Amino acid sequence: MLVALVTHAFGRKTVLLASNGLVLASSCLLIGGDSWPLLFLGRVCIGIVAGIAAGVVPMYFADLAPTALRGAVGTAHQLSITMGTFVAQLLTTPSLELVGSDTRWRYTFAVPLICSAIECAILPTCPESPAYLYRMGGSTAALRKLVELHTAGSISDHIDSMRAEHTFALSESGFTMAELFSAPHLRRRLLVGVVLLLSMQLSGVDAILYYSTMVFRGMGLHDPQLSTTVLGLVNVGFTLLSICLMDKAGRRTLLLLSWALMFFCYVALTFSYICATYSLLPAHMMHSMAVVSTAGVLMAFAIGPGCIAWFVIAEIFPLYARDVVLALGVAMNWLINALVALVFPTLHAALGPFTFVVFALFTFGFGCFSYAYVPETRHKTPLEINAEFGE
């Protein structure tokens, strides 16, 4: 909630710039820390930065992007996450002999410093959110910025939407978390947003990213960590593909396709794991099938919930509610992420080769929900999205 209040007061661009101070503190602590309290503090600092970025960046992109390019611009956020994950995996894979050793692991934390320096050089040249400018300086300030970013038709749609939503917001004494949950006209949006947030974590992708090396090692793969790094590269590749598809195929179409692919890939992964565990089929065949199936899960996630969930949430909520939704989303995202990370080893120990049946059931359920409740938002203005929800 604190992030939402600060973002509301100072704007998304300012908050993102300020977060680089925490990146600097974190890198210094993790590179030079010689005790566990210092290392722990460094992890806390970078965790706060991750929480800020996860909520603020997709909202900032949604505010800036013209209607016709909203999907491609929004997907850039997920692309940066997948690229960061792959770089970390690449650097720390022991067999590649980069910095994945007991003596060189601290050099990994120089990467955030480099990224922070790039952001500090580029972000000041980027525009502030038109929604923030409208709130602070009125329609003239927002219009000047929209002219630089949008076509004439898109400018008109955005100004009309901001004017209507700002008028509503002025009739409220500030929009709070309690009002978000009690507002009748936002209940369906809230249901869609919460389920989309849950789907990102409960789909099992984080379990794969965190524990695929452990699972591959249990199946007997020769270099399980290198296999995990290859999966990271696959994730980046298909996130790039999703940028091309997002504004052509539509959000809802890609979401439904991804849930179906994830379900079948989890079934194939479970089959290969069972056969490898009980020696039902040749091990080398099952190892290959397990890696391909896991790559399929990441591929499907990359073109579906991984790139869609955050910016669809930004699209479906009106401006006056976005900062509160940001706070709720970041808190939920990291809490469920921590839950999956903590529970998965116990789940794996209890279910063994049947572990991924749980995630297959989750993806099937999320697919049914998306079919029933998630609207298509491609190329739609905020006012048209309001109409989708009966307003």
- pLDDT number for residue 170: 45
Q: Is 103 exposed, middle or buried (0-12, 13-18, 19+ CB in 10 A)?
A: exposed
Architecture of domain 2-126+172-388: Up-down Bundle (1.20)
**What's residue 171's pLDDT?**
44
Dihedral sign of CA atoms 275, 278, 280, 285 in order: positive
147 burial type by CB count under 10 A (0-12 exposed, 13-18 middle, 19+ buried): exposed
Say what the pLDDT of residue 155 is: 61
Contact indicator for 272, 171 with CB cutoff of 8 Å: no
Distance CA 70, CA 227 (A): 34
Number of helices (H), then strands (E), in the chain: 19, 0
DSSP string, 203-237: TSHHHHHHHHHHHHHHHT-SSHHHHHHHHHHHHHH
The DSSP letter of residue 123 is G
Residue 51, pLDDT score = 80
Closest by alpha carbon to 167, among 134, 202, 213?
134
Alpha-carbon distances, residue 193 vs 180, 215, 312, 357, 370 (angstroms): 12, 31, 8, 25, 11
Rounded Cα distance, 1 and 9, in Å: 13
- Kindly report the length of the chain: 391
Block residue for tokens 């929900």: 369
Q: What is the pLDDT of residue 247?
A: 66
Residue linked to tokens 């379900």: 263
Q: How far apart are the first and last CA of the chain?
A: 27
Residue 138, phi then psi, degrees to nearest 5: 90, -175
The one-letter amino acid code at 179 reads E
pLDDT tens, residue order, the chain (391 aa) = 566 666 666 778 888 999 999 999 999 999 988 888 999 999 999 988 888 887 788 777 777 777 666 666 767 777 888 888 889 888 988 888 888 787 888 889 899 999 999 999 998 888 777 767 766 665 565 566 666 666 555 666 666 666 655 554 444 445 677 888 888 888 888 898 889 888 888 998 888 888 888 877 777 777 888 888 888 888 888 878 777 777 677 788 889 999 999 999 999 999 998 988 887 888 778 888 888 898 889 888 888 888 777 777 777 887 777 778 877 877 788 888 889 889 999 998 899 889 999 999 999 999 999 999 888 877 777 677 777 776 6
Contact 214, 348 (CB under 8 A): yes
Q: What is the pLDDT of residue 313?
A: 78
Contacts of 257 by beta carbon, 8 Å cutoff, 6+ apart:
249, 300, 303, 304
Measured distance CA(172)–CA(175) in Å, rounded: 7
pLDDT of residue 206: 84
- Alpha carbon of 216 to those of 159, 263, 284, 350, 353: distances in Å? 52, 20, 12, 17, 11
C-alpha span between 308 and 196 (Å, rounded)? 9
Note whether 76 and 300 are within 8 A (CB).
no
